[in-house]
């Protein structure tokens, strides 16, 4: 019954006089700044060539773009060293990394509102509903790819596969921090944007004032969410010298050198 009552409330809401609707699109960079909407690049498709077979076999997320850089060597240890020396350059730490992670996020939503004049207080009460929230992400993971594994024996091929698997596990953990964990909190906070009171003489500009209020509030949520994500990412396993984390697979290679 509650479900039907809620649907009826929404239906009545849209029939009320003074109802208005609008769409908002907002995108944030990894620093929490609002950025202009740009054409989104679809995540890269799975690679069918043999040199990507190891990565493919480990499972790639369809919502993530993967980029690759080549590594070389005749032994497992040489290949890991190649990854440490030729991986993506981190401008903040001024070191090479065996993998890289970049991200941005955003959303699109519809908002509706009704207004009611309060004669006693000479105020305009504005009831707001934000709905149809759609999240968008631009996440890229950069990984090493072995161009030729014909020099490796079966044991070393397994070591290389495990090496890539542990890198992917770390980077996919970052994807969860960015994408999977914050959504419930964002939806809850947007649901709290439900009311605004204006002076009665602002009725003629109510449309603009309400939209500005909604945009500013959701932008604040975006900025604070990005800050929280960055804090969690900073607490995630750090990358040490050579661009690998303290529990990184490169330890195995160093033991075998």
Reply yes or no on whether the pLDDT at 219 is more than 70: yes
The domain ranges of the chain are 17-256
Cβ within 8 Å of residue 17, ≥6 positions away: 114
pLDDT digits (tens, 9 = 90+) for 132-180: 999 999 999 999 999 888 889 999 999 999 999 999 999 999 999 999 8
**What percent of the chain has a predicted confidence (pLDDT) above 90?**
67
What is the Cα–Cα distance from 110 to 211, expressed in whole angstroms? 11
Cβ within 8 Å of residue 3, ≥6 positions away: none
- Residue 249's pLDDT is 47
- Residue 239's pLDDT is 46
Label residue 93 by pLDDT band (50, 70, 90): confident
Q: Where are the alpha helices (DSSP H) in the chain?
A: 2-15, 53-58, 76-86, 154-175, 183-191, 206-235, 250-256
Alpha carbon separation from 230 to 97, 127, 133, 176 (Å, rounded): 19, 33, 22, 13
User: How do strand 65-71 and strand 123-146 relate by DSSP bridges?
Assistant: parallel
Q: Share the mean pLDDT of the chain.
A: 83
Q: Exposure string (b/e) for 147-159, b if CB count within 10 Å is 16 or more?
A: eebeebeeebeeb
């Amino acid at each position: 019954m509650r479900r039907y009552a809620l649907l009826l409330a929404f239906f009545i809401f849209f029939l009320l006089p003074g109802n208005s609707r609008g769409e908002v699109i907002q995108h944030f960079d990894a620093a929490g700044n609002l950025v202009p909407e740009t054409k989104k690049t679809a995540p890269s498709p799975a690679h069918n060539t043999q040199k990507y077979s190891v990565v493919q076999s480990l499972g790639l997320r369809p919502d993530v773009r993967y980029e690759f850089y080549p590594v070389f060597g005749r032994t497992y240890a040489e290949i890991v060293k190649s990854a440490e020396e030729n991986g993506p350059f981190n401008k903040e730490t001024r070191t090479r990394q065996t993998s890289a992670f970049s991200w941005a996020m955003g959303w699109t939503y519809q908002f509706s509102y009704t207004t009611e004049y309060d004669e006693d207080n000479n105020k305009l009460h504005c009831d707001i509903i934000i709905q149809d929230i759609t999240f968008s992400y631009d996440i890229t993971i950069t990984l090493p790819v072995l161009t030729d594994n014909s020099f490796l024996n079966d044991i070393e091929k397994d070591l290389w596969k495990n090496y890539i698997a542990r890198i992917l596990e770390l980077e996919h953990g970052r994807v969860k921090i960015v994408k999977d964990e914050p959504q419930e909190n964002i939806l809850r906070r947007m649901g709290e944007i439900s009311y605004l009171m204006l002076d009665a003489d602002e009725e003629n500009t109510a449309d603009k004032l309400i939209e500005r209020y909604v945009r500013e509030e959701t932008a604040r949520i975006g900025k604070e969410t990005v800050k929280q994500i960055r804090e969690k990412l900073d607490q995630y396993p750090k990358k040490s010298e050579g661009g690998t984390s303290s529990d990184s697979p490169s330890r195995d290679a160093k033991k075998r050198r």
